[in-house]
Amino acid sequence: MVIMLVFMSLTYLLARISQCKSQTLIKSPGGNLMPIPLPSAENRFINNVESRQQKIAIMPKRPLQPVKKPNRPNRGWLLKLARALQTSLDTEELVRIFAEHTAAIVNYDSIHFSTSGSDIEFQQGELGKHSCHYDVVLHGGTLGAVHFTRNHPFSEEETNILEDLLCNFVHPLHNSLRYEKALRASMQDALTGLQNRASLDHSLAREIQLAGRYSTPLSVIMLDLDHFKAVNDTFGHPVGDQVLKVVAAEVSESVRDSDIVFRYGGEEFMVVLSNTGLAGASQLAERIRQAVERADVSAGKYELKTTISLGVASLNGEEDARHLIEKADDALYQSKSCGRNRVTVLKDSHHEAAASSKHHRTAQA
């Protein structure tokens, strides 16, 4: 019985101690300590919300600066990029594909790419204040340079991602540059560095198509070195090659940036003049003639002078490349027949008569 009374007393004492722990003591006006209950969970939540609202109300308002955290590309995404970069050997198209896929991972405002020789340049977007610059190098050779820009700095994680993506870009870029180099070599005359006959066929067909689409004039100049066979026979072919190089340089320096100069074959050259009528083509032809006449040709111990004859013709209506070249050739023939070192402009009304006369003389010869 005594044991039971002791046990009940202890139980009551522990309950009172537990109740005291769940209360906070405050001092009453009379100086006595009084227990008060702590706020319930619901009351604590309401108080916290009210406190936060008060803090927010007194904090100064600042514009939000959202920062997109870059998504690290996984193997599947990198495989997709690799496949996309294998779809083209055109360098500008390849850079465009790379730019589009990169923008899905890292935000940027502009991308600029240029090859080491500045033969190819690609720009997309508006320049920003901050930039990342990368030289694309393979086997010790620089293929080109890539610039990314935007108006806020790139993070270290973003630059690491850009470097990883560029590693996937290197070999496709190398392949496209090699292909375009081979393509240019097939369209270029090895001696003079001008574009060759194959390139002329392609370019002239394109220019005729554009002239027809936009109703703009198109003219050509065909020129031929005077007495060039005598130069080769007298001084040898190395001297003749030097004469061809000098003439090619003089013609290239005389034309506009929009004009295209070709070595047509042997000692003949062709200049294609987009958006140019007979009057403008005739003036340019005379300027070319004078430049070649003034030029000095130094070939070893020989100092030579040379002259050229030129024929000018313009596109008329539905003519194709073959007819346009024939008209220029007829004008050139007239320059040769009338004493050389001159310019002849062939108007369409004289084309049939000139062609008939040329055919007749050739048959007699």
Residue 262 CA to residue 195 CA, distance in Å, equals: 5
Active site members = 267
The torsion angles phi and psi of 343, rounded to 5 degrees, stand at -115, 135
Burial of 244 (0-12, 13-18, 19+ CB in 10 A): buried
What is the SS3 assignment for 112? strand
Residues 6+ apart with CB under 8 A from 16: none
Please check whether residue 199 is in contact with residue 188, taking contact to mean a CB–CB distance below 8 angstroms. yes
Residues 6+ apart with CB under 8 A from 232: 239, 240
User: What does the angle CA 28 – CA 32 – CA 36 come to, to the nearest 5 degrees?
Assistant: 60
Tokens of 10: 């202890």
Q: What is the DSSP string of 284-338?
A: HHHHHHHHHHH--EEETTEEE---EEEEEEE--TT--HHHHHHHHHHHHHHHHHT
Question: First and final CA of the chain: distance in angstroms?
Answer: 153
Residue 212 CA to residue 207 CA, distance in Å, equals: 9
What is the SS3 assignment for 280? helix
Residues 6+ apart with CB under 8 A from 324: 204, 208, 218, 220, 313, 315
